[in-house]
Amino acid sequence: MNNANEYEEYTAKLNEVSVQDAFQQSTKQAEQMLEDENKTKDFLDTVEKKFASIKVIGKGLSQIPLMINLIRSYLKKEYTNVPIGSILAVLGALIYFLSPVDLIPDILPVIGKLDDAAVIGIALKLVSADLECYAEWRQGQGA
């Protein structure tokens, strides 16, 4: 199979329904993860390491550090002025980002991140106002 055929095969999997389904499954996992604060903190550390290893970062993926910090602030009860649905959406997107089982395998150069960016994009559409409020709060805290 050549690269053009692989690209077409994998990008065909990125329809709105498949990405939405992946996002919803990850959000369900997020509910379970939030029940164990230490597990969630360890998970966020792992996401940070994966994010640091990415060479090409698009607009959506560039929001991952802010998303990680939002979850951390929420867990520490420093910032709780955010709906639980937003926390679950952010954590669910991060779970998908870290998951080795994707619509498009991460080991494929460049296209391996397309599905991650799509799922992160769904979360950002849902929580953009909450992330903006959090970013403003962080600035006010000197962070």
Read off the pLDDT of residues 90-104 as tens digits, 9 standing for 90 and up. Answer: 999 999 988 876 766
Higher-confidence residue: 66 or 19? 66
Report residue 22's pLDDT band, with 50, 70 and 90 as the boundaries. Answer: confident
Residue 82 has phi, psi (to 5 degrees) of -145, 135
Average pLDDT of the chain to the nearest whole number: 84
Higher-confidence residue: 115 or 29? 29
User: Cβ distance 67 to 98 under 8 Å?
Assistant: no
CA distance linking residue 96 with residue 29, whole number of Å: 9
Instruction: Say whether pLDDT at 43 is over 80.
Output: yes
Report residue 128's pLDDT band, with 50, 70 and 90 as the boundaries. Answer: very high
Give the mean model confidence (pLDDT) for residues 75-81.
Answer: 96
Does pTM surpass 0.75? yes
116: how many CB neighbours lie within 10 A of its CB?
26
